[in-house]
Amino acid sequence: MALPEFPVEGGCQCGAVRYRLTASPLSVYNCHCKDCQRFSGAAWSMSMIVRDEDFELLSGAIARYERVADSGNVIGMNFCANCHGWVWNDPPARGIKVARAGTLDNMDWAAPVGNIWTESKAAWVEIDPGLVNFPRGAVDRTPLFTAWIQSRQE
């Protein structure tokens, strides 16, 4: 799928938090971990990996929650302070944010290229074996980045 012209924007439901992406994300994929199921209220969440320098917060007060993962890593979760919509995470890896693809104003171009934590997916979710899939977290996200670049060229 072709990329849009950047910048593109997104935000929370109430409109207080707005952000701008000045360049393509590095990848978009689905996460089926139990925490994403709880926070999204759905079977998976859509993670959009963006470089810090490509993500500009334009407006809105942020409420931050520090989630301790099973690994012991602390993940900063950032929500709109007004409507509490989940907008992005700060992972332990430096230099990137994990934004929620569903907050994009238009996500027609953001088809996910893979799945992580498939071992905790709901039994009725069918995983496309042609995507880049991991039973647990992707310690090295390189295959997800490569698949994203390849999917843009099709």
Is the Cβ of residue 33 or residue 49 nearer to Zn ion in the bound state? 33
Of 83, 90, 131, 143, the one binding Zn ion (CB under 5 A) is 83
Q: Establish if 80 lies at the interface with Zn ion (CB under 5 A).
A: yes
Applying CB under 5 A, the span of 23-31, 88-96, 121-129, 136-144 interacting with Zn ion comes to 23-31
- For Zn ion, give the closer residue by CB, 57 or 82: 82
Q: DSSP readout, the chain?
A: ----PSPEEEE-SSSS-EEEE-S--SEEEEE--HHHHHHHSSS-EEEEEEEGGGEEEEE--EEEEEEEPTTS-EEEEEEETTT--EEEEE-SSTTEEEEEGGGBS--TT----EEE-GGGS-TTPPP-TTSEE-SS--SS-HHHHHHHHHHHT-
How many residues bind Zn ion (CB under 5 A)? The answer is: 9
Restricting to residues 89-128, name those near Zn ion by CB under 5 A: none
